[in-house]
A = this chain, B = another copy of it.
Amino acid sequence: MRFFSDNAAAACPEAVAAIAAANHLDTAYDGDAWSRRLDDAFSELFETRVTALWVATGTAANSLALAALCPPHGSIVCHRDAHIQNDECGAPEFYTHGAKLLLAEGVGAKLAPETVSDLLATVRDDVHQTQPAALSITNATEYGLVYTPEETAALGALARSRGLGFHIDGARFANAVVSTGASPAELTWKAGADALSFGFVKNGGLSAEALIFFGEEHRQATLYRRKRSGHLLSKGRYMAAQLLAMIEGGVWLRNAGAANDAAARLAEAAGPDRLLLPVEANEIFLRAAPQEAQALRDQGFDFYDWGPGEARFVTAWDSDPGEVAALAAAIRAL
Which residues on A are within 8 Å of B, measured CB to CB? Answer: 2, 4-5, 7-11, 16, 19-20, 23-28, 32, 55-61, 63, 71-73, 75, 86-91, 93-101, 127-131, 201-202, 206-207, 221, 223-235, 238-239
Contact = CB atoms under 8 A, between A and B. Distances in A.
A229 B28 contact: no
Contacts of A232: 57, 59, 127
A240 to B, nearest CB: 12
6 contacts: A4-B28, A11-B238, A19-B19, A127-B223, A229-B229, A231-B231
Contact of A23 (B11, B87, B90): B11
A100 B91 contact: no
Contacts of A20: 16
Contacts of A202: 234
Given A11-B235, A73-B225, A229-B230, 16 more contacts: A2-B25, A4-B28, A8-B32, A16-B19, A19-B206, A56-B230, A58-B234, A71-B221, A73-B89, A89-B127, A94-B228, A97-B97, A130-B224, A201-B235, A207-B235, A231-B231
* Closest CB pairs A-B (n = 10): A60-B230, A93-B98, A8-B28, A73-B224, A59-B230, A7-B234, A89-B227, A97-B97, A89-B228, A127-B227
Nearest to A57: B230
A235 B16 CA distance: 13
A234 B224 CA distance: 24
A45 B76 CA distance: 40
B201 A234 contact: yes
Nearest to A320: B25
A225 B95 CA distance: 12
A266 to B, nearest CB: 18
A129 B25 contact: no
Contacts of A61: 230
Contacts of A226: 127
A206 B228 contact: no
A97 B73 contact: no
A193 to B, nearest CB: 21
B28 A10 contact: no
Contacts of A23: 10-11, 16, 206
